[in-house]
Homo-oligomer: A and B are copies of this chain.
């Protein structure tokens, strides 16, 4: 096991009828909030009304910054920063999923510096201070509600970049599973795929294989993401299923799984980010396209971890196979089959991306490989993986 520091100070308030707590929790941090949210769904579901009422009743004035879209953009972050400054906001409140929370994080850091916020993403500047952030989560997926990472798309340069900084942990995140009853089937599945991908990245890219307790936690989280998602799709207003998926997705990327693994990477995300930057497809959908191809490529030279995962998560059908290579390839197929079963796309062709686009996708991914220091991912390797995703 490698040395690590684990320090996750986010306070989680989880359960039914918890949204109103956003008022008192936020009031302890500031008096003028920039409320960051998405498009229409939070107004339809009533959560927008609940949040604004709670803030107002707690004496927090609200400056609105709606309109965050999935694959959130730098332009919208910049306009949020401008607004936060103009109105003298001293706290940021995010109402939404990963895109909204990531935008809110970027605004919280950009609002207190003189330079452009994108410099944080390209590594030219680092975050030394920011405005405090509280969140109300509306979809089980990204884990941003309890971690210190964020991902933003620069539309001008067509770069979707992300990074982490310890100042970006939300102070308080409210997770009310009932809010997610109205998340449609496709985005429920994409959320589960996202949670699985977060666990899978670390499970596969650790250089230290002596991590038994982390392995068991990660296997449990992957298995449970699938089970909980299946139950949510069957009965969208099943409280326990929604709660199970929500907490699983949070635990999937809150630092716990990575503790002790040493340096881990996000190679699947690296390639997927190019898909969503270039084609604007949902992140989870992009992931279910990339994961089976990446995993099949990875199994070709390092079958052991893939085989272990398969034996423990999918059980007898995989454990019964003779070689690690066979077990690993069967694991890839089993995971792909599950993605298919929840109607998350599993090939580039399913989202009408032709093979002739592969060089352009690889070109884009290479830029992020550089920023994320995944130098082993050459153009040739990325293209090879993408060909397995056709």
Binding site for B on A (CB under 8 A): 1-16, 18, 177, 210-213, 216-217, 219-221, 223-224, 227-228, 239-240, 243-244, 247-248, 251, 256, 259-260
Cα-based distance from A223 to B260 in the complex (angstroms): 19
Number of copies: 2
A177 / chain B contacts, CB cutoff of 8 Å: 1
A217 / chain B contacts, CB cutoff of 8 Å: 217, 220, 251
A244 / chain B contacts, CB cutoff of 8 Å: 1, 210-213
Cα-based distance from A5 to B14 in the complex (angstroms): 6
Given contacts A8-B8, A210-B244, contact A260 B14 (CB under 8 A): yes
- Structural contact, B212 and A216, CB atoms closer than 8 A: no
- Structural contact, A216 and B210, CB atoms closer than 8 A: no
Most B C-beta atoms less than 10 A away, residue of A11, A14, A219, A220: A220
With CB as the reference atom, state the residue of chain B lying closest to A245: B213
Q: With both chains docked as a complex, state the minimum distance between the C-beta of A67 and any C-beta of chain B, in angstroms.
A: 31
- Structural contact, B1 and A7, CB atoms closer than 8 A: no
Cα-based distance from A12 to B4 in the complex (angstroms): 8
20 pairs from A and B in contact (CB 8 Å cutoff): A1-B15, A2-B15, A3-B14, A3-B16, A5-B13, A6-B11, A7-B9, A7-B10, A8-B8, A14-B259, A210-B240, A211-B244, A212-B228, A213-B221, A213-B228, A216-B220, A216-B221, A217-B217, A247-B259, A251-B256
Cα-based distance from A107 to B247 in the complex (angstroms): 36
Q: With both chains docked as a complex, state the minimum distance between the C-beta of A20 and any C-beta of chain B, in angstroms.
A: 13
A220 / chain B contacts, CB cutoff of 8 Å: 213, 216-217, 219-220
Q: With both chains docked as a complex, state the minimum distance between the C-beta of A124 and any C-beta of chain B, in angstroms.
A: 28
- Structural contact, B14 and A6, CB atoms closer than 8 A: yes
With CB as the reference atom, state the residue of chain B lying closest to A10: B7
Cα-based distance from A307 to B351 in the complex (angstroms): 45
Q: A3-B15, A6-B11 are in contact. List 12 more A-B contacts (CB 8 A).
A: A5-B14, A9-B9, A14-B260, A210-B240, A211-B244, A212-B227, A212-B228, A213-B224, A213-B244, A213-B251, A243-B260, A247-B260
A3 / chain B contacts, CB cutoff of 8 Å: 14-16, 18
Cα-based distance from A95 to B221 in the complex (angstroms): 34
A259 / chain B contacts, CB cutoff of 8 Å: 12, 14, 247
Most B C-beta atoms less than 10 A away, residue of A7, A211, A216, A248: A216
Q: With both chains docked as a complex, state the minimum distance between the C-beta of A210 and any C-beta of chain B, in angstroms.
A: 4
Q: With both chains docked as a complex, state the minimum distance between the C-beta of A62 and any C-beta of chain B, in angstroms.
A: 25
A14 / chain B contacts, CB cutoff of 8 Å: 1, 3-6, 259-260
With CB as the reference atom, state the residue of chain B lying closest to A14: B4
Cα-based distance from A337 to B243 in the complex (angstroms): 37
A4 / chain B contacts, CB cutoff of 8 Å: 12, 14-15
With CB as the reference atom, state the residue of chain B lying closest to A1: B243
- Structural contact, A7 and B12, CB atoms closer than 8 A: yes
- Structural contact, B228 and A224, CB atoms closer than 8 A: no
- Structural contact, B13 and A240, CB atoms closer than 8 A: no
A210 / chain B contacts, CB cutoff of 8 Å: 240, 243-244
Q: With both chains docked as a complex, state the minimum distance between the C-beta of A49 and any C-beta of chain B, in angstroms.
A: 21
Cα-based distance from A219 to B224 in the complex (angstroms): 13
Partner of A11, one of B7, B13, B18, B219: B7
With CB as the reference atom, state the residue of chain B lying closest to A252: B213
Cα-based distance from A5 to B239 in the complex (angstroms): 18
With CB as the reference atom, state the residue of chain B lying closest to A15: B3
Cα-based distance from A247 to B212 in the complex (angstroms): 10
Q: With both chains docked as a complex, state the minimum distance between the C-beta of A171 and any C-beta of chain B, in angstroms.
A: 10
A243 / chain B contacts, CB cutoff of 8 Å: 1, 210, 260
A16 / chain B contacts, CB cutoff of 8 Å: 3
Cα-based distance from A8 to B146 in the complex (angstroms): 12
